[in-house]
């Protein structure tokens, strides 16, 4: 499987995140990339597809905000990474506010996703990595791996959150449709619910979103990912959430995957976009499933057995010492 990665993705290097009431070193750090690169072998750099495919998913005002935010932060006399502290939870609407703190609140939903100096560059090239890997699949190869970092599945059309800024999987799915694909399935097997991806396609019948994740009653992102979220309008029925309890190991995960695959088979997609997180690993420091390294090839094989053209997009995974080995195990199985 060809693998895409762009070194400019390393320019995103946030220092700290607010975690359980304290600022701690950010879990989504460039060391994740070193672990994965050491394990997966040769990669190819991204081609620049420009901003147009990003703007098919994200609002122009949000992209403008992301590009400017860190400079605005510095212009306000601040040091370190930009992060919000006030959020408009009631009647959120597109206000054109000037003050950086107001803009940070307007365009984010959590305090764990700071904007560092290189965040726009890193997120931009992460999205270009997804688009470049998509080109390989659209050209006829069975699969390709987009080693996206920062991840994307929590980012919505006009908000960041959950370590995510641009929704790489959604940008690739929309680009595939714009390139002539009829029906796309997105299967998200990161530990956390992909609330941004769900939100972007919630009213769409041409994109099926299926997610297996920790029950949001106990785990981030809490407010989305519940089993009764089924889509709306024309998208009613094109969203399937399969929440699982903390402690889930291979047998229950595999059963959930079988349910997910049945639903995708019914939908009969032209292309599968797989949001793959390795934070389902037993040793993950912020997650609570119990998959082991040897489980990943088997799970990958059961997804690959359906034979849909597949773009694998990297999402989370924070057990840095085992991360690369787990990702390589999954890709090898696929
Ligand atoms: C991103 B991905 C505060 C707790 C918030 C956010 C988890 C984001 C996971 N530090 N945790 O889905 O792997
Ligand atoms: Zn995750």
pLDDT of 93 reads 87
Residue nearest to atom 8 of ligand 1 (CA): 162
The one catalytic residue among 153, 154, 193, 213: 154
Cα–Cα nearest to 270, from 185, 330, 333: 185
Residue nearest to atom 6 of ligand 1 (CA): 162
For residues 134-151, give the mean pLDDT. 98
Concerning whether 154 is annotated as a catalytic residue, the answer is yes
Query: Per-residue confidence at 194, pLDDT binned at 50, 70, 90?
Result: very high
pLDDT of 94 reads 82
For the CA of 151, the nearest atom of ligand 1: 2
| pLDDT above 90 as % of the chain | 98
pLDDT of 178 reads 98
Tell me if 229 CB under 6 Å of ligand 1: no
For residues 201-227, give the mean pLDDT. 98
Q: Give the start-to-end residue ranges of the domains of the chain.
A: 2-62+117-333
Tell me if 315 CB under 6 Å of ligand 1: yes
Q: CA 4 to CA 26: how far, in whole Å?
A: 24
pLDDT tens string 144-169: 999 999 999 999 999 999 999 999 99
Whole-number Å distance, alpha carbon 316 to ligand 2 midpoint, is 4
pLDDT tens string 224-265: 999 999 999 999 999 999 999 999 999 999 999 999 999 999
**59, 261, 309 from 245: Cα distances, Å:** 35, 20, 31
Whole-number Å distance, alpha carbon 190 to ligand 2 midpoint, is 5
Tell me if 163 CB under 6 Å of ligand 1: yes
Using a 10 angstrom Cβ sphere, with 0-12 exposed, 13-18 middle and 19 or more buried, the burial of residue 252 is middle
Identify the CATH number of the domain defined by range 2-62+117-333. 3.40.800.20
Rounded to 5 degrees, φ, ψ at 263 are -65, -40
């Amino acid at each position: 499987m060809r693998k895409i990665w762009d070194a400019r993705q390393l320019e995103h290097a946030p220092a700290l995140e607010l975690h359980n009431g304290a600022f701690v070193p950010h879990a989504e750090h460039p060391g994740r990339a070193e672990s994965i690169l050491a394990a997966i072998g040769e990669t190819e750099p991204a081609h620049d597809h420009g901003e147009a495919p990003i703007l098919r998913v994200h609002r122009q005002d949000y992209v403008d905000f992301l590009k400017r935010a860190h400079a605005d932060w510095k212009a306000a006399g601040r040091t370190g990474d930009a992060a919000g502290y006030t959020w408009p939870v009631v009647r959120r609407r597109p206000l054109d506010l000037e003050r950086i703190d107001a803009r940070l609140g307007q365009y984010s939903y959590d305090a764990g996703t700071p904007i560092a100096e290189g965040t726009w560059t890193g997120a931009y090239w992460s999205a270009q990595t997804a688009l470049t890997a998509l080109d390989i699949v659209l050209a006829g190869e069975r699969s390709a791996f987009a080693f996206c970092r920062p991840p994307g599945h929590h980012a919505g059309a006009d908000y960041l959150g959950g370590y995510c800024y641009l929704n790489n999987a959604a940008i690739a799915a929309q680009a595939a449709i714009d390139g002539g694909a009829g029906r796309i399935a997105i299967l998200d097997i990161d530990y956390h619910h992909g609330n941004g991806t769900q939100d972007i396609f919630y009213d769409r019948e041409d994109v099926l979103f299926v997610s297996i994740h920790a029950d949001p009653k106990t785990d981030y992102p809490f407010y989305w990912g519940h089993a009764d979220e089924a889509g709306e309008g024309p998208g009613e029925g094109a969203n399937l959430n399969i929440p699982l309890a903390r402690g889930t190991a291979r047998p229950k995960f595999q059963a959930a995957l079988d349910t997910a695959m049945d639903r995708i088979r019914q939908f009969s997609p032209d292309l599968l976009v797989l949001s793959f997180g390795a934070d389902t690993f037993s040793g993950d420091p912020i997650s609570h499933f119990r998959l082991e390294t040897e489980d990943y090839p088997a799970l990958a094989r059961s997804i690959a057995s359906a034979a849909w053209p597949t773009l694998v997009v990297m999402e989370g995974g924070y057990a840095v010492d085992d991360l690369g080995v787990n990702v390589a195990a999954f890709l090898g199985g696929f």
